[in-house]
Amino acid sequence: MRLTRREFAIISAAGAALPQTAFAQGSAPITRAIPKTGERLPAVGLGTAEVLDTDETETRKKAAAVVRALIEHGGSLIDTASSYGDAEIVLGEVTAPTGLREKLFIATKLEAPDDVELNRSLERLKTPKLDLLQLHNVDDPDQSLSRFREWKQQGVCRYIGITSTYHRSFPALEAVLTREQPDFVQVDYSLDNREAEKRILPRAAEVKAAVLTALPFGRGRLFRAVHGKPVPPWAAAFAGSWAQFFLKYLLGDPRVTAVIPGTSDPAHMTDNLGAMRGALPDPDQRRHMEQFVAAL
pLDDT at 7 over 80: no
| DSSP SS3 for 108 | strand
pLDDT digits (tens, 9 = 90+) for 276-296: 999 999 999 999 999 999 999
Total domains present in the chain? 1
pLDDT surpasses 80 at 66: yes
Given phi > 0 = left and psi -120 to 50 = alpha, else beta, which region is 228? left
DSSP 172-207: HHHHHHHHH--SEEEEE-BTTB-GGGTTHHHHHHHH
What would the pLDDT profile of 146-192 be if each residue is shown by its tens digit? 999 999 999 999 999 999 999 999 999 999 999 999 999 999 999 99
- Domain extent for 283: 5-294
Q: What is the pLDDT of residue 27?
A: 81
Quick check: 144 pLDDT over 70?
yes
CB under 8 A, 24+ apart: contacts of 28-33 = 28/277, 29/73, 29/74, 29/75, 29/273, 29/276, 29/277, 30/251, 30/276, 30/277, 30/280, 31/276, 32/210, 32/254, 32/256, 32/257, 32/258, 33/257
Query: What is the CATH classification number for the domain harbouring 65?
Result: 3.20.20.100
pLDDT in tens, 240-254: 999 999 999 999 999
Distance (Å) of CA 37 to CA 40, 50, 67, 183:
9, 32, 26, 9
Say what the pTM is: 0.92
pLDDT at residue 6, rounded to an integer: 54
